[in-house]
Chain A
Amino acid sequence: MARHLVRLKLVLLRAAARSAGLSGGIGMGLAILVALAIGAMGGTGLALLRVASDRRVADIVPAAFAGVLAVWVLGPVVSVGSEGTLEVDRLALLPLGRRQLMPGLLLAAMVGAGGVTTVLVLLGAVAGLAPASPGVVVTLAAAGLELCVCVAASRWVSTAISAAARKRRWRDIALFVGPLLGLTINLVWQIYARTTMRPDAFGHLHSRHTAIGSILRVLVRIVPSGPPAEAMVAARSGRWALALAELAAGVLFLVALLLLWWRAVEKVLTTSPESGRSRAGQVTAGAAGARPSLFPRFLPFLPVSRMGAVAAKELRVMWRDPRQRATLFASTFPGLLPLISTGVIASRSPKVVLLAAAPAYMIAASGTNQFGFDGARHWTNVAAGEDMAADLAGKNLARAVVAAIVIGVAVSVLAWRTAGWEMAVPAAALAAGAFGVALGLADLVSVIAAYPMSDSPGNLFSAGSSGQGFAAAGPALGVLFGGAVLCGPMALASLAVAGHPLSGAVVAAAEVMVGIAAWRNLWQIAARRANPRQPEMLVALGPKHAA
């Protein structure tokens, strides 16, 4: 059975490559190349430990192995995209028990870019740490154990989340909390790393960071990847008894993970997904002229029209659909990074308030696939008669509402920290200009290169299709960097006139006008291009293009 499941995985990967089309195929190729490059770099880094001191090796190897484990466990959760080809769910109807399924699923999980990358890293570790004696067997065993621990932990977490998410409400929570957890870890790490690198600016925090560093050093040793790493380190210095004891501890961890996975698989095989129960209630007779319930009450300015309906729908769904909510947070997050950079945290210059434009820019630039979450549901708009201008404007309006809230908070926080309230208006104007330029570009890409986001209920973390992420990355990066080039002069002008009220007002007005003009022209071009091509867009957004 294990051989059958591995073969099935290979067949599915080949089928995905064949059906991915040109852009998907290129995306898959790029994904594999990047994975191989990361594996090669990681492996080379660990191979170079052959010339490192014992102390450095003792610090680096457990950290590196913990990193590999974290990628296996958190990767699918954070990226909302893992191989969804061999989930337990999909095999539940076959007359197969756990004993038959689990070895095959374990082996099948090793097939693919993740497995190859990990093997490359571990080969580097073996090259860098294996002693020149028969003790190399211990090093090889530790490398194999690390691979098994990573895969078992990954499968357990994936299946456990799937098992816990048999109800729609739990599925929604898992879909949102997973990526948020990943972002939070990333954010904490960024702050820690940045402030640690500048002990001069953060002397009062330095001692705490040293303590946190010590805790992390302990942590990477007690997680399941710790014993294999320690076994390798001990074997390198000829402490055979310790190495064997660490290997035994690693095997115990592996057995524990397999038992946990065993229980999770049982739950998935014996329960069926349930729908949730949202708030019930009858439709009420609205007073004449009352706003329809589709429109959020706190946004009275949304017009009761096709454009307004699309905007209201986007805002409702953006919040209610956990995938969209997670994506919204993920797209806002990179824009917040400059705000927590070392220089900004330490600075008291009012000019840093201008950085509030960064999240607005990111929210707009991340809208390169605004119809992706609609997917095949876009037929509703097409069947109602083509009006891409209104549809696109509605989606843009919803994005602008979100951006306005984020900009408001960012400007207020930065102005309060630096007492630079005089920069609030220039910052808002720069944000509006950058938002307009980036959103116009994103509109164009959205109609030219639309693709569906997967919403498979069977697998919480399935990607749209193999290679899709990389295929989408090209246009998205194009907008990100192209927009930055266009917005750069605006940012420089704002910096140049900071502190000069008159020229500052002129530049601010110019930035707003440039933003509006850029958005308006690009939006019109996008709508004109897409209107007569709605059926083709519908095909591109159809289920055959999803996983």
Chain B
Amino acid sequence: MAGNDDAPPAVSWRGLAKSFGTKVAVADVDLDIPAGSFFGLVGPNGAGKTTTLKMTTGLLRPDRGTAVVDSTDVWRDPVTAKAHMGVLPEELRLFERLTGEELLTYNGLLRGMDPTVVADRSRDLLGVLGLADAARTMVVDYSQGMRKKIALACALLHAPRVLFLDEPFESVDPVSARTIRQVLERYTESGATVIFSSHVMDTVQRVCDRVAVMHAGRLVAAGTVDEVRGGRSLEDAFVALVGASADQSAGLAWLDTSSD
């Protein structure tokens, strides 16, 4: 679903910046993300995607600038802002000694949800995500794909207006990836907004309607997918935008001597 340009933006960044020591991680990012969009934030490793998402979700304090989610300034009123957002961070640090069902209950009650609603939604989410049989298995015994799915279930449990996903398809098998994609597409059809970071251009081109490219902490392009790719594949456009040369493997001639 394309974003609704008349509605206030789902997310608004103004001068958002963060440095770690002398290293500039995010440099004065300005952007509005329309409500209802399926938005991809792409960039090479170390571009500042994760730092930007952490600052937007209240997990990392910015040096300066503002992040507004669903019309609420995240750093002025974090409790209200967080009530409207769901988060799936890149590093999946979960309470692994809880079962999937217990983890969902824990997340629901942290957000002050009614226990009956939590139980009903948990059952639905576990069923749709194919985790019903593993509901009473400890998360420590889950595969990587199952962990992504249970984390996604936790992020969706309170039906947030905006969902932030950091590398949701990384290390996920194609079947799990398809399930996650279908759930997210169903979710955006309801008018909610999904913002996810990735460096898999193919996935971004396939599922997103809008995209922003980050490089060295700065936004180097933003718009609809078609605008950004300009008639090329998104990967070619991305490589051109971040300044990588076409073939960087020229200096590895010695690989030809491999005995295999």
Q: Are B138 and A282 in contact (CB under 8 A)?
A: no
Q: A306-B109, A382-B59 are in contact. Are A282 and B78 (CB under 8 A)?
A: no
Q: Are A383 and B91 in contact (CB under 8 A)?
A: no
Residue A95 lies at the interface, judged by CB distance under 8 Å to chain B: no
Q: Are B60 and A535 in contact (CB under 8 A)?
A: yes
Q: Are B59 and A317 in contact (CB under 8 A)?
A: no
Residue A294 lies at the interface, judged by CB distance under 8 Å to chain B: yes
Residue A101 lies at the interface, judged by CB distance under 8 Å to chain B: no
CB distance from A312 to the nearest CB of B (A): 8
Q: Are B60 and A377 in contact (CB under 8 A)?
A: no
Q: Are B111 and A279 in contact (CB under 8 A)?
A: no
Q: Are A385 and B59 in contact (CB under 8 A)?
A: no
Q: Are A304 and B109 in contact (CB under 8 A)?
A: yes
Residue B256 lies at the interface, judged by CB distance under 8 Å to chain A: no
- The size of the chain B interface, using a CB distance under 8 A, is 45
Interface flags, A372-399, vs B, CB<8A=1, else 0: 0011110111111111000000000000
Count A-B pairs with CB separation below 8 Å.
136
CB contacts (< 8 Å) of B97 on chain A: these are 316-317, 320-321
CB contacts (< 8 Å) of B115 on chain A: these are 291-292, 304
CA distance A106 to B38 in the complex (A): 55
CB contacts (< 8 Å) of B123 on chain A: these are 283, 285
Which one, B22-30, B129-137, B181-189, B195-203, is touching chain A?
A: B129-137
CA distance A379 to B133 in the complex (A): 27
Residue A53 lies at the interface, judged by CB distance under 8 Å to chain B: no
Q: Are A278 and B138 in contact (CB under 8 A)?
A: yes
Closest to B114 in A: A304
Q: Are A380 and B60 in contact (CB under 8 A)?
A: no
Closest to A324 in B: B97
Residue B79 lies at the interface, judged by CB distance under 8 Å to chain A: yes
CA distance A381 to B134 in the complex (A): 24
Q: Are B58 and A383 in contact (CB under 8 A)?
A: yes
Q: Are A317 and B95 in contact (CB under 8 A)?
A: yes
Q: Are B111 and A384 in contact (CB under 8 A)?
A: yes
Q: Are B59 and A280 in contact (CB under 8 A)?
A: no
* Set B57, B82, B109, B119: member contacting A286, Cβ < 8 A: B119
Q: Are A384 and B59 in contact (CB under 8 A)?
A: no
* Set A313, A536, A543: member contacting B61, Cβ < 8 A: A536
Closest to A308 in B: B109
Interface flags, A256-288, vs B, CB<8A=1, else 0: 000000000000000000011111111101101
CB distance from B23 to the nearest CB of A (A): 14
Q: Are A283 and B109 in contact (CB under 8 A)?
A: no
CA distance A535 to B107 in the complex (A): 19
Interface flags, B115-159, vs A, CB<8A=1, else 0: 110110011001000001111111011000000000000100000
CA distance A292 to B89 in the complex (A): 26
Interface flags, A281-309, vs B, CB<8A=1, else 0: 11101101111111000000000111011
CA distance A236 to B156 in the complex (A): 75
Closest to A303 in B: B109
CB distance from A319 to the nearest CB of B (A): 9
Q: Are A384 and B107 in contact (CB under 8 A)?
A: yes
Q: Measuring CB to CB, which residues of chain B are less than 8 angstroms from any residue of chain A?
A: 57-61, 78-79, 82-83, 85, 87, 89, 91, 93-95, 97-99, 101-102, 105-107, 109-112, 115-116, 118-119, 122-123, 126, 132-138, 140-141, 154
Q: Measuring CB to CB, which residues of chain A are less than 8 angstroms from any residue of chain B?
A: 168, 275-283, 285-286, 288-294, 304-306, 308-310, 312-313, 316-317, 320-321, 374-377, 379-387, 534-536, 538-539, 543
List 9 interface pairs A-B (beta carbons < 8 Å), by A numbering: A283-B132, A292-B118, A293-B99, A293-B102, A316-B97, A317-B98, A379-B59, A383-B59, A535-B60
